[in-house]
Amino acid sequence: MATIVSPLAPKFYPDMPEIEGVRFSTAEAGVKYRGRTDVVLASLDAGTTVAGVFTQSKCPSAPVDWCKAILKNGTARGLLVNSGNANAFTGKKGSTAVELSAKIAAKSLGCNVNEVFLASTGVIGEPLDAGKFEAVIDDLAAAVQPASWREAAEAIMTTDTYPKIATATVEFDGKAVTFNGIAKGAGMIAPDMATMLSFIFTDAAISPKVLQSLLSGETGESFNSVTVDSDTSTSDTVLLFATGAAEKRGVAKLDDLDDPRLGTVRAALGDMMQNLAQQIVRDGEGARKFVEVQVEGAESDISAKKIALSIGNSPLVKTAVAGEDANWGRVVMAVGKAGEPADRDKLAIWFGDIRVAVDGERDPEYGEELAAAVMKEEDIVIRVDLGLGSGQACIWTCDLTKEYIAINGDYRS
């Protein structure tokens, strides 16, 4: 937990309503950090369903393997998350540690081992001592209560400079159901210190199949549309839990992919996930600028997204933003290197509302001072029109500053 909060942090935190069927507690287990909470337990009422999406890494952490394996059951009663140790690349010791962690939590929650989801974030390659959880688990289980969203978000922070929380309410059948989420992540990944984790909870009753469709469907334009440094964690995990408590209040279960109510849910959940994902970028290591990259006119949406990520991951684009320079030449470079269909002579580029290039050359109307004001802003939009088709995409990134190097290169010195 850094002491200086990112200048891009949200200016206020939302009030998080309680979600019936979800209770939290946190503790100082001393996994690595001292003087701060580093473990969170969520207790979930019987009947809770679950969906998940995970890192695409070919070298996933032991908790990712664990969650993928038990996800097929579709039900959950507990979630145990720690910071300070990622339990990644820990071999046989890693799988032993997750089994023991789940057993400890299951015993204290009175549920089956394969109903306990796990996530870990922190140092990679160090064996995780599940005994640390054993020492605090009974106190954790005794202390769970429904209002601890911010405390839960704080316990999972690593290089994060602020906790990430968001909430959304949807009206169904004249009654409100709620989605609350927490997240962490400060590099897209820094396996020694960071990783993207998010846990979302709702009191709606949603079948596992529909829940997975909702989560997978909304991940693309949220957590999979942000980048800090192009590096992918061994541990990225997003879990969505539905306690079903709203069913008792007369909100019918969502168990059909053709249910007309799903459109409203997708929109609300998608906005909330995008909000959490953007909060991660706003806490990007060393970030001083938040950048939205809009690509349109591509041959397809997939092609547009590849080009947008090529721009958003380019060290030269990101250092130019840090230097408050509307360096559209580097945007051209990043479009060109993406390997996707592009016609140099049809390209147009904007910084904010200022068109800097058109028809493959500098906009004749453009003067550097026009974009200078845009580049001084905290939030910057880079827009590219490829002029080829109707494919479009939007991703979010941050600038690349010396502070990123300091966080990731100087920490041992």
Enzyme catalytic residues:
195
Q: Any contact of residue 411 with its own copies (CB under 8 A)?
A: yes
One-letter identity of residue 135: A
Residue 48 assigned as binding residue: no
Residue nearer to its own copies on the CB measure, 149 or 366: 366
Distance CA 268, CA 167 (A): 9
- Residue 361, beta-bridge partner list: 358
We find the least distance from the C-beta atom of residue 369 to its own copies, in angstroms, to be: 12
We find the least distance from the C-beta atom of residue 166 to its own copies, in angstroms, to be: 27
Q: Any contact of residue 7 with its own copies (CB under 8 A)?
A: no
Which residue stretch of 154-162, 246-254, 265-273, 397-405 sits at the interface with its own copies (rule: CB under 8 A)? 397-405
- Residue 242, beta-bridge partner list: 49, 202
* Number of chain positions touching its own copies (CB under 8 A): 77
Residue 75 assigned as binding residue: no
Q: Any contact of residue 336 with its own copies (CB under 8 A)?
A: yes
Give which of 314, 392, 304 is closest to 341, Cα–Cα: 304
Considering only residues 55 through 114, tell me which ones interact with its own copies, judged by CB under 8 A: 55-60, 86, 88-94
Buried b (16+ CB within 10 A) or exposed e, 213-231: bbbeebbebbbbbbbbbbe
Are the CB atoms for 228 and 287 separated by under 8 Å?
yes
Residue nearer to its own copies on the CB measure, 45 or 325: 325
Give which of 224, 240, 251, 379 is closest to 308, Cα–Cα: 224
- Binds its own copies (CB under 8 A): choice among 234, 274, 303, 392: 234
CA distances from 313 to 185, 295, 303, 319, 337 (A): 17, 14, 15, 11, 11
Rg (CA), the chain: 22
We find the least distance from the C-beta atom of residue 213 to its own copies, in angstroms, to be: 25
Residue 221 assigned as binding residue: no
Buried b (16+ CB within 10 A) or exposed e, 325-351: bbbbbbbbbbbeebebebeeeebbbbb
Q: Any contact of residue 222 with its own copies (CB under 8 A)?
A: no
Phi, psi of 246, deg, nearest 5: -65, -20
Residue nearer to its own copies on the CB measure, 147 or 405: 405
- Binds its own copies (CB under 8 A): choice among 319, 381, 389, 394: 319
Considering only residues 236 through 295, tell me which ones interact with its own copies, judged by CB under 8 A: none
Sequence length of the chain is 413
We find the least distance from the C-beta atom of residue 365 to its own copies, in angstroms, to be: 14
Residue nearer to its own copies on the CB measure, 138 or 343: 343
Residue 37 assigned as binding residue: no
We find the least distance from the C-beta atom of residue 90 to its own copies, in angstroms, to be: 6
Considering only residues 343 through 382, tell me which ones interact with its own copies, judged by CB under 8 A: 343-345, 347, 357, 359-362
Are the CB atoms for 226 and 280 separated by under 8 Å?
yes
- Binds its own copies (CB under 8 A): choice among 281, 342, 348, 374: 342
Q: Any contact of residue 314 with its own copies (CB under 8 A)?
A: yes
Distance CA 139, CA 151 (A): 16
Which residue stretch of 23-31, 214-222, 293-301, 312-320 sits at the interface with its own copies (rule: CB under 8 A)? 312-320
CA distances from 152 to 38, 231, 328 (A): 9, 26, 42
Query: Tokens in use for 352?
Result: 């904010």
Query: Tokens in use for 209?
Result: 């199949």
- Where would I find the H helices in 291-350? 301-313, 315-322, 328-337
Residue 158 assigned as binding residue: yes
We find the least distance from the C-beta atom of residue 324 to its own copies, in angstroms, to be: 7
- Binds its own copies (CB under 8 A): choice among 8, 106, 111, 124: 124
Three-state secondary-structure class, residue 265: helix
Which residue stretch of 150-158, 189-197, 218-226, 253-261 sits at the interface with its own copies (rule: CB under 8 A)? 189-197
- Binds its own copies (CB under 8 A): choice among 340, 354, 371, 396: 340
Distance CA 300, CA 345 (A): 19
We find the least distance from the C-beta atom of residue 190 to its own copies, in angstroms, to be: 6
- Where would I find the H helices in 176-300? 208-219, 262-282
Binding-site residue ranges: 158, 184, 195, 285, 408, 413
Binding-site residue ranges for substrate: 158, 184, 195, 285, 408, 413
